[in-house]
Every structure is written in structure tokens, then in C-alpha cells.
């Protein structure tokens, strides 16, 4: 079923692109690139056993959207982030092999069509989330593993819009797939395992410039309630057999302020809840001073 939904979505996208009039509005690209660096250094006679370290994170927020002359609107966003931490050995002061500290590939394509009213719009969406390197195992790296896919259809509504500030909610039915490659004990070959589920999706996207400040708040709340799961039979009789039925939540918030043309400060806060992974919510916070380049 999810292949049918994805096929229909891609077909509509191609039809809209091919049939757009020559006088339709132009594509609007955006591209923000950031680099964050943290460095510590100590002299050889420094007391306390502290060691030097270097942490770097490179990230990019890319966008491409278009409002066609017909009431079609197509928005594509791509978030990329990768970073490493380098530490010294305590005694020798030699630099150890770096380990990954940040890793994300998040692509979403959203197609909306105004048909019922200027504010209620049917939509079709596709999202892919993965990472550059899977560092689950020591001395063994896989690229783009695991892969999470979501295809959804439903109705969207612009809840608030003023100048560049906007909040939009959408509610619909979605299908999710998780594809994971698992190596054998000798790390010479891998086995691909996949699972899928389907249910209701609610997404809230927004950005808001906080008054009397230079702070931009960007938020994305994604919730998913599954009604079926391809591996539910394998869980029958286990203590966690119904965990897949719990609502999954992913809430991302970024507070950013441009200090100068190339310097910005940002606070990123993410809260995740997936009962199959952990019965408690997971929390991530990153406060950073970034070198930024606004390419488009």
C-alpha cells in the first residue's frame, strides 16, 4: 500500500512540474550553512588531568519551494548535519581517533493543493531520515543506515501567517518504513531487516520572530499513532507487545539570533518519545556559536 501512495505522490509531482504554465512563480531556493567549533588546550604541566579536545559540527539547511499559477504549492527541505569530537590521551597527549557527535540527513517534500478554501489544503508528503555513518559497532561503519521513510496524505491548514512568520498544521494518514542492515558476527556480510506500520499523523511546522528581540524560533512537532505494525505477531505474549501502539513524538525547537553578518548563536532542543526504544522521553540540547553563510 505504501508503494502505491508513494507512486501516486511522485506521479502528481511530475504532472504538476510538467504542466506548470510559463508565467508561474519562480522557484525560491534557500541555503544556510553553519560551522561550529569548540577547542580546549592545556600546557603539559596543567594540574587536574584535563586533556585537550576539538569538537566541530557542520550543518546546512536547504530549501526549494514554488507556488504554481494553479493552486499547487511544492516545498522541499533538506537538513544536513555532521560533527566529530577529538580528544587527547591523558598521559601521552596523543590525539585519539575521533568519534561522531552529530549526524543527520532529513529530507521532506510537501505538496499542497487549494481546493476547498484558501486555508484548507489537501496535501501529500514524503520524508526520509537517515545518517551519514552508523557507528553502532566499533571499527565497523555503515553508511546511510538505518533509513526511515514516511509517506502521508491528508489536509493542512495555515494557522497563523504574518510577514515571514507562519504556523501550519497538517493531519492525515501515513505509512512508515524502517530499513536496517545488520552485520553478521564476522562483519563480512549484512542482513537487511525491514518493518512498516500505518496510522494517523499530525505535524505542526512554524517559525516566529520573537518581538523586541533578534531571536527567531523555529519549531517542528511530529506525532504518529500507529494502527497496524508488520511485526506485531512476533511480539505476541511479550511484556512489550503493545508498545508499538503508543504515540510517537518528535519535537524540535531552535532559537537563533544573528550576532553579525557571519556570526550567530543558536539553542537547539529536541524531545523524542518512542516507547519501543525507551519508556521515558529522550532529550537533546545543543548551545552553539556558529559561523554562518547565507548562500541564497
Q: What is the mean pLDDT of residues 136-142?
A: 86
Q: What is the 3-state secondary structure (H, E, C) of the chain?
A: CHHHHHHHHHHHHHHHHHHCCCCCCCCEEEEEEEEEEEEECCCCCCCCCCCCEEEEEEEEEEEEEEECCCCEEEEEEEEEEEEEEEEECCCCCCECCCEEEEEEEEEEEEEEECCCCCCEEEEEEEEEEECCEEEEECCEEEECCCEEEEEEEEEEEEEEEECCEEEEEEEEEEEEEEEEEEECCCCCCEEEEEEEEEEEEEEEEEEEECCCCCEEEEEEEEEEEEEEECCCHHHCCCCCCCHHHCCEEEEEEEEEEECCCCEEEEEEEEEEECCCCCCCCEEEEEEEEEEEEECC
Q: Where are the domains of the chain?
A: 2-19+27-294
The answer to whether 59 and 80 are in contact (CB under 8 A) is yes
Q: What is the pLDDT of residue 197?
A: 96
Neighbours of 51 (CB within 10 A): 17
Exposure class string for 76-109: b at 16+ Cβ within 10 A, else e: bbbbbbbbbbbbbeeeeeeeeeeeebbbebbebb
Over 70: is that where the pLDDT of 2 sits?
no
The structure's pTM equals 0.85
Nearest CA to 268 out of 242, 282, 287, 248 is that of 287
Rounded mean pLDDT, 12-23: 47
pLDDT per residue as tens digits for the range 43-78: 777 766 778 889 999 999 999 999 876 788 899 999
Determine the Cα–Cα distance for residues 152 and 290; give it in Å rounded to an integer.
34
**Structure confidence by residue, pLDDT tens digits, 142-200:** 999 999 999 999 999 989 989 889 999 999 999 999 999 999 988 888 999 999 999 99
| pLDDT value of residue 11 | 54
pLDDT, tens digit, 9 for 90 and up, residues 225-260? 999 999 999 999 999 999 999 999 999 999 999 888
Question: What fold does the segment set 2-19+27-294 form as a domain?
Answer: Outer membrane phospholipase (ompla); Chain C (2.40.230)
Amino acid at each position: 500500500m505504501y508503494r502505491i501512495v508513494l507512486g501516486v505522490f511522485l506521479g502528481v509531482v511530475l504532472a504538476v512540474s510538467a504542466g506548470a504554465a510559463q508565467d508561474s512563480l519562480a522557484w525560491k531556493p534557500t541555503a544556510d550553512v553553519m560551522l561550529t567549533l569548540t577547542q580546549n588546550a592545556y600546557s603539559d604541566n596543567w594540574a587536574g588531568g584535563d586533556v585537550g579536545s576539538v569538537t566541530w559540527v557542520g550543518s546546512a539547511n536547504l530549501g526549494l519551494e514554488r507556488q504554481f499559477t494553479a493552486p499547487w504549492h511544492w516545498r522541499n527541505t533538506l537538513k544536513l548535519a555532521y560533527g566529530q569530537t577529538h580528544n587527547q590521551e591523558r598521559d601521552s597527549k596523543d590525539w585519539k581517533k575521533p568519534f561522531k557527535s552529530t549526524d543527520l540527513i532529513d529530507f521532506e517534500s510537501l505538496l499542497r493543493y487549494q481546493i476547498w478554501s484558501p486555508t484548507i489544503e489537501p496535501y501529500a508528503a514524503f520524508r526520509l531520515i537517515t545518517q551519514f555513518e552508523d557507528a553502532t559497532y566499533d571499527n565497523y561503519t555503515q553508511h546511510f543506515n538505518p533509513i526511515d521513510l514516511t509517506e502521508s496524505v491528508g489536509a493542512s491548514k495555515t494557522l497563523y501567517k504574518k510577514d515571514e512568520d507562519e504556523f501550519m498544521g497538517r493531519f492525515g494518514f501515513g505509512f512508515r518504513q524502517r530499513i536496517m542492515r545488520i552485520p553478521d558476527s564476522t562483519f563480512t556480510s549484512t542482513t537487511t531487516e525491514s518493518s512498516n506500520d500505518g496510522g494517523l499523523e499530525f505535524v505542526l511546522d512554524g517559525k516566529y520572530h520573537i518581538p523586541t528581540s533578534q531571536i527567531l524560533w523555529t519549531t517542528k512537532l511530529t506525532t504518529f499513532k500507529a494502527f497496524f505494525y508488520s511485526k506485531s505477531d512476533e511480539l505476541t505474549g511479550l511484556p512489550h507487545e503493545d508498545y508499538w501502539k503508543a504515540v510517537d513524538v518528535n519535537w524540535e525547537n531552535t532559537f537563533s539570533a544573528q550576532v553579525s553578518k557571519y556570526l550567530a548563536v543558536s539553542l537547539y532542543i529536541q524531545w523524542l518519545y518512542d516507547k519501543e526504544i525507551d519508556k521515558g522521553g529522550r532529550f537533546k540540547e545543543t548551545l552553539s556559536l556558529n559561523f554562518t553563510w547565507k548562500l541564497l
